[in-house]
């Protein structure tokens, strides 16, 4: 029999895909990849077997996800269109890598994903898969069968597939350690406010908010490693900051997004950890990076976020930009005090052994070391081209 390795999330589409691929004559090896989503993945794997997978595996990719994907994104303060912290875009290249590894291991001739034909994820999977193994056959059953979400629900009901009410909810959800993406249902009306039931990891302002509080995040080489003085490691730090930020309703995003396939879509995200840590990390960079390096990096950040959003994780440009970023991050070591109040996370203090802030230069008090006499001459030369140009009245 032909064998295919399917990226299995446990959701509606990939559950239907197991049945559909089996009916098409494939032996399906289902792989659930742990990238920090809160699901019961043992149950996900068991379900894949019930649905007819010949084998179902759980691959723990959490540590790799943190180290190789999330931390580089944080280094680049990565926000697509200035707002979206690339939650789903970051996990796709890693899941692709796992698919290729399992395909080699099980001697499968094909891999499959459950993306529709309208989104970015199909591009991310297929661009990653072909970079990793140009010879592998890639199946996209959900795109090919052309069923709508309600068709899939009807298919699942007709074949009595064990889909719980959660999976047949109107929303399409993608989750990992960096946040949650929520699509479909009433969210497709861009005027309709997100209903309360879309939010799972952030608390709304209608609920009593806690007193404002500070949280001190410690960074080493641009990665968070401690929270309020406890050294906990990067993965735990992300979870801990996410929990605090979520309890203050920080990290809700409701935006109109330009998808790669040309569609404008309304997207809702919850990314309390990502949004707070990007705020903290960029604040620490402001203290520690030399200004022209920081300015150049800001331009590359936009390029990086665009590339990764658009599925080109395995591109030489992404690697080249990471190499640039790598030279900057050693200095991004220190602490940032984040002040949380309802819906707001604002840096309210920062310190670093690599700080470029010199109090004696910056102070308006007496005993400063800045020679204001130098300023007058500097300003003359700095403005000389404009002064000369202004004298020529004709322009
Ligand atoms: N629009 C987002 C992106 O392109 C979210 C995709 C979410 N995927 C999903 N299956 N719900 O990254």
The pair of three-digit structure tokens given for residue 140, joined into one six-digit string: 């996209």
Would you say residue 159 has pLDDT above 90?
Answer: no
Work out which ligand 1 atom sits closest to the CA atom of 87.
12
Distance (angstroms) between ligand 1 centre and the Cα of 137 equals: 23
pLDDT at 124: 98
CA of 187 to the centre of ligand 1 (A): 13
pLDDT digits (tens, 9 = 90+) for 203-262: 988 776 779 999 999 999 999 999 999 999 999 999 999 999 999 999 999 999 999 999
CA angle centred on 89, ends 251 and 53, rounded to 5°: 115
Q: Which domains are delineated in the chain?
A: 2-168 (3.40.50.620), 176-351 (3.90.1260.10), 359-394 (1.20.5)
Sign of CA dihedral 261, 264, 266, 270: positive
pLDDT in tens, 93-138: 999 999 999 999 999 999 999 999 999 999 999 999 999 999 999 9
Residue 30's pLDDT band (boundaries 50, 70, 90)? very high
Contact present, 348 and 337 (Cβ < 8 Å): yes
Alpha-carbon distance of 183 to 267, in angstroms, equals: 6
Measured CA to CA, the distance from residue 256 to residue 260 in angstroms comes to 13
The Cα–Cα gap between 247 and 204 comes to 8
Minimum CA distance residue for ligand 1 atom 8:
174
**Predicted TM-score of the model (pTM):** 0.96
> Measured from the CA of 80, which atom of ligand 1 is nearest?
12
Active-site residues: which are they? 13, 92, 121, 172
Q: Is 355 exposed, middle or buried (0-12, 13-18, 19+ CB in 10 A)?
A: middle
Ligand 1 closest atom vs CA 115: 10
Q: State residue 6's pLDDT score.
A: 98
- Give the pLDDT band (50/70/90) at residue 148: confident
Q: How far is the CA of 32 from the centre of ligand 1 (A)?
A: 17
- Closest Cα to atom 6 of ligand 1: 88
* Contact residues for 369 (Cβ-Cβ < 8 A; gap 6+): 358, 360, 361
Answer whether residue 153 shows pLDDT above 60.
yes
| Res. 166: pLDDT tops 80 | no
Per-residue pLDDT at 233: 97
89 alpha carbon to ligand 1 midpoint, in Å? 7
Per-residue pLDDT at 299: 98
Place of tokens 């597939």: 161
Pairing of strands 252-258, 172-176: unpaired
pLDDT at 29 over 70: yes
- The percentage of the chain sitting over the pLDDT mark of 70, rounded to a whole number, equals 98
Measured from CB, residues less than 6 Å from any atom of ligand 1 are 88-89, 119-121, 172-174, 181, 183, 257, 267
Average pLDDT over residues 1-20: 93
26 vs 277: CA distance, rounded Å: 43
- Could you give the 3-state DSSP secondary structure of residue 311? coil
Most ligand 1 atoms within 8 A of CB, residue of 12, 85, 183, 263 to mutate: 183
Average pLDDT, the chain: 95
Q: Specify the pLDDT at position 395.
A: 64
How many Å lie between the centroid of ligand 1 and the Cα of residue 121? 7
Q: Given pLDDT bands bounded at 50, 70 and 90, which one contains residue 151? A: confident
Confidence grade of residue 366 (pLDDT, cut at 50, 70, 90): confident
Stretch 158-182: mean pLDDT:
83
Mutation choice for ligand 1 from 84, 88, 254, 271, CB with most ligand atoms inside 8 A: 88
Q: Shortest CA distance to 91 belongs to which of 274, 300, 280, 330?
A: 274
Q: What is the pLDDT of residues 264-296, one digit of tens each?
A: 999 999 999 999 999 999 999 999 999 999 999
Q: Which atom of ligand 1 is nearest to the CA of 269?
A: 5
Atom 1 of ligand 1, residue of closest alpha carbon: 267
């Amino acid at each position: 029999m032909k064998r295919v390795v399917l990226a299995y999330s446990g959701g509606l589409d990939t559950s239907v895909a197991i049945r559909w691929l089996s009916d098409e004559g494939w032996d399906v090896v289902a792989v659930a990849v742990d990238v920090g989503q809160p699901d019961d993945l043992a149950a996900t794997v068991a379900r894949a077997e019930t649905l007819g997978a010949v084998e179902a595996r759980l691959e723990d990719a959490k540590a790799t996800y943190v180290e190789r994907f999330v931390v580089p994104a944080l280094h680049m303060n990565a926000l697509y269109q200035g707002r979206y912290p690339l939650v789903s875009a970051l996990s796709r290249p890693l899941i692709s890598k796992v698919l290729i590894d399992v395909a080699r291991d099980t001697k499968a001739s094909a891999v499959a994903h459950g993306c529709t034909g309208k989104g970015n994820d199909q591009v991310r999977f297929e661009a990653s898969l072909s970079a990793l193994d140009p010879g592998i056959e890639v199946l996209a059953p959900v795109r090919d069968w052309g069923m709508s979400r309600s068709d899939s629900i009807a298919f699942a009901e007709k074949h009595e597939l064990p889909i719980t009410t959660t999976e047949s909810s109107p929303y399409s959800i993608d989750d990992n350690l960096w946040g949650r993406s929520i699509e479909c249902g009433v969210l497709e009306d861009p005027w309709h406010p997100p209903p309360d039931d879309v939010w799972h990891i952030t608390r709304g302002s209608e609920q009593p908010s806690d007193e404002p509080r500070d949280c001190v995040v410690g960074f080493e080489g641009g990665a968070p490693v401690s929270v309020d003085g406890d050294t906990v490691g990067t993965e735990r730090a992300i979870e801990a900051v996410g929990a605090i930020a979520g309890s203050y309703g920080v990290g809700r995003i409701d935006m109109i997004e330009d998808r790669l396939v040309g569609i404008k879509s309304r997207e809702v995200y919850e990314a309390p950890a990502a949004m707070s840590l990007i705020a903290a990390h960029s604040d620490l960079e402001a203290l520690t990076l030399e200004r022209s390096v920081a300015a150049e990096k800001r331009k590359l950040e936009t390029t990086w976020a665009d590339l990764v959003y658009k599925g080109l994780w395995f591109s030489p440009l992404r690697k080249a930009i990471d190499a640039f970023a790598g030279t900057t991050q050693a200095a991004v070591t220190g602490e940032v005090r984040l002040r949380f109040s309802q819906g707001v996370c604002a840096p309210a203090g920062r310190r670093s052994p690599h700080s470029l802030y010199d109090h004696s230069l910056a102070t308006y008090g007496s005993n400063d070391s800045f020679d204001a006499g130098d300023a007058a001459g500097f300003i003359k030369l700095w403005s000389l081209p404009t002064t000369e140009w202004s004298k020529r009245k004709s322009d």
